[in-house]
Amino acid sequence: MATASVTFKSREDHRKQLELEEARKAGLAPAEVDEDGNEINPHIPQYMSSAPWYLNAEKPSLKHQRKWKSDPNYTKSWYDRGAKLFQANKYRKGACENCGAMTHDKKSCMERPRNVGAKWTNVNIAPDEKVESFELDYDGKRDRWNGYDPSTYTRVIADYEAREEARKKYLKEQQLKKLEEKDTEKDDENAGSEDDEEDGLRIDEAKVDESAQMDFAKVEKRVRTTGGGSTGTVRNLRIREDTAKYLLNLDVNSAYYDPKTRSMREDPLPDADPNDKFYVGDNQNRLSGQALEFKQLNIHAWEAFEKGQDIHMQAAPSQAELLYKSFKVKKEMLKSEHKDKIMEKYGNAASEDAIPRELLLGQSEREIEYDRTGRIIKGQDVSLPKSKYEEDVFINNHTSVWGSWWKDHQWGYKCCKQTIKNSYCTGLAGIEAAEASADLMKANMARKEAAEDEPVQHEEKRLATWGTDVPQDLVLNEKKLQESLKKETARRKEEKDERKRKYNVKFNDEVTAEDMEAYRMKRIHHDDPMKDFLN
């Protein structure tokens, strides 16, 4: 039950409320209605139906479970595909050098690269594309059909309906034509009973209902059997004496056999003699026979559809096959005409004298001079076509491009063997310095490993009593030493009797050499046999 707010209820009211909820769940009482007049499901748990206290809900409702805040920035519109904004008459500064549009640069241009760009010709300036940016919500980003116009599918439906009507009309005409031919023929006196039975069978096939002839391939022909006529298909079963394809090679890692489709695409015995094998895998059927012709037929249908022909291999296979046959005939005719024109203009070299030796060896009058390494010194080399992207651009004095060298899973420059892309080329000197640095690092690592194996010998230092090295010229003052001894004795007595310790203790952190010497002399050595006689 969707309660508006939590209020105090007596035990009797609480009992009645529970009975009402049970009656609503059982269907004996009408369901609770929210402020909009909609019924609330009584089986919704209370933690979902009860509104938070800060909403101050006076009436039962489920609005707190819905998204009642909408972001005004979200939109459900989509890109205007192929829309153009403005087409200039001359090139503008900052536009694409290839087509002349302002919405992209030369590298991002999707048009065919021109021999001379629009920047220099000022001809055929392409219009600017409409560039849009939307902020979609969670559902809009994941909507597969966002931006799809459903009205465009009506054209596909009308096309298929027209084809279906034409096909039905053609089938009906063929059936009527066959029946008329059978009626006009005279009975042959010498015809046997078997021929009459075949003629009757053909007439029965021609009288099949229209609903059964929705497709040429789906019409089931009658099959003669000993038990009488029946319809169906005959499976192409293998000979039972032949070895099954999955038993030719029992190795687990051999060709995979799919039991569902009974297919084995790869050759189970690739190392065996081809003359002794009668099965080389199902892929062989795709590369021989009519499979190649069917593949070429599909390719022709795709290319014709892209060029505007109304052809579809699956919707009208007969039409596609007829068009492909006519295409091959026209292609052969054009080839023969082209061949005749060339022979008429230039003659037939095969029927004339032998070709000169200069033409056979590919010699020409163009002079090209090479050096010992094969590089061209004088003459024009064959120019290689380049793409619209940057090629052979050398930066920072490098003589090779980035990625021409590879070592230790890192790309680099071949000229200086550096793995930093924006580094400056150092040439052979940099290579030698890098090798020397590597050798030095190896030597240091070897020396460090050798030093770790040897035990470290520490020198014994003579330390002063106050924690530092004892200077060589240390001289103690006898008078100050006697005073320090007295102070140390008094301090030890004070430690033994805490009642003599005063409240205000003055602390002095200045320690002299005499004080440290007095402390050392008064200190008790536990291994001293005379320690009990010390003060």
In a domain, 111, yes or no: yes
pLDDT value of position 262: 86
On whether the pTM is more than 0.85, the answer is no
Residuewise pLDDT in 10s, the chain (535 residues): 555 445 677 899 989 989 999 999 988 889 988 888 889 899 988 888 888 888 888 778 888 887 766 666 677 778 888 899 999 999 999 999 999 999 999 999 999 999 999 999 998 999 999 998 888 888 888 888 888 888 889 999 999 999 999 999 999 999 888 888 887 875 554 454 455 555 555 555 555 544 444 444 444 444 444 444 444 444 455 666 778 888 888 888 889 999 888 888 889 998 888 888 888 888 888 777 788 888 889 999 999 988 888 888 888 889 899 999 999 999 999 999 999 999 888 877 676 666 666 666 666 677 788 888 877 777 766 666 667 777 788 888 888 888 888 888 899 998 998 888 888 898 888 888 888 888 999 888 888 888 877 665 655 544 454 555 556 667 788 888 888 888 888 877 777 666 666 666 655 667 788 888 887 777 766 666 776 665 5
Q: Is 23 helix (H, G, I), strand (E, B) or coil?
A: helix
In a domain, 200, yes or no: no
Alpha-carbon 312 to chain mean position = 31
What amino acid occupies position 197?
E
CB 107 within 8 A of CB 389: yes
Same domain, 85 and 134: yes
As given in the structure block, the two tokens for residue 277 are 């094998």
In a domain, 425, yes or no: yes
In a domain, 304, yes or no: yes
Q: Whole-angstrom Cα distance, residue 282 to residue 245? A: 10
Same domain, 147 and 107: yes
Same domain, 105 and 155: yes
Q: Which element (helix H / strand E) includes 412?
A: strand 410-412
Same domain, 45 and 119: no
Which residues neighbour 372 within 8 Å (Cβ) at sequence distance 6 or greater?
A: none
What amino acid occupies position 70?
S
Q: Is 18 helix (H, G, I), strand (E, B) or coil?
A: helix
Which residues neighbour 418 within 8 Å (Cβ) at sequence distance 6 or greater?
A: 412, 425, 426, 430
Same domain, 55 and 90: no
CB 125 within 8 A of CB 100: yes
Q: Is 400 helix (H, G, I), strand (E, B) or coil?
A: coil
**Domain end position, chosen among 138, 172, 206:** 172
Same domain, 157 and 112: yes
What does the angle CA 440 – CA 446 – CA 447 come to, to the nearest 5 degrees?
90
CB 83 within 8 A of CB 129: yes
For 66, left (φ over 0), alpha (ψ -120 to 50), or beta? beta
Closest residue by Cα to residue 249 from 279, 285, 287 = 279
**Domain end position, chosen among 120, 149, 172:** 172
Within 13 Å and on the Cβ side, how many CA atoms surround 208? 19
**Domain end position, chosen among 327, 345, 363:** 345
As given in the structure block, the two tokens for residue 423 are 């580094």
Count of CB atoms situated within 10 Å of the CB of 133 = 5
* Helices 193-206, 153-184: inter-axial angle, 10-degree rounding: 150
For 421, left (φ over 0), alpha (ψ -120 to 50), or beta? alpha
Within 13 Å and on the Cβ side, how many CA atoms surround 340? 6
pLDDT value of position 5: 47
Number of domains in the chain: 4
pLDDT value of position 393: 83
Which residues neighbour 324 within 8 Å (Cβ) at sequence distance 6 or greater?
A: 296, 297, 300, 301
pLDDT value of position 92: 93
Range of the domain at 430: 400-447
* Helices 317-346, 290-306: inter-axial angle, 10-degree rounding: 90
Same domain, 44 and 120: no
Same domain, 37 and 109: no
Same domain, 84 and 110: yes
Same domain, 106 and 162: yes
Same domain, 341 and 297: yes
Same domain, 338 and 414: no
In a domain, 417, yes or no: yes
As given in the structure block, the two tokens for residue 151 are 């009205």
For 27, left (φ over 0), alpha (ψ -120 to 50), or beta? left
Count of CB atoms situated within 10 Å of the CB of 51 = 21
pLDDT value of position 463: 45
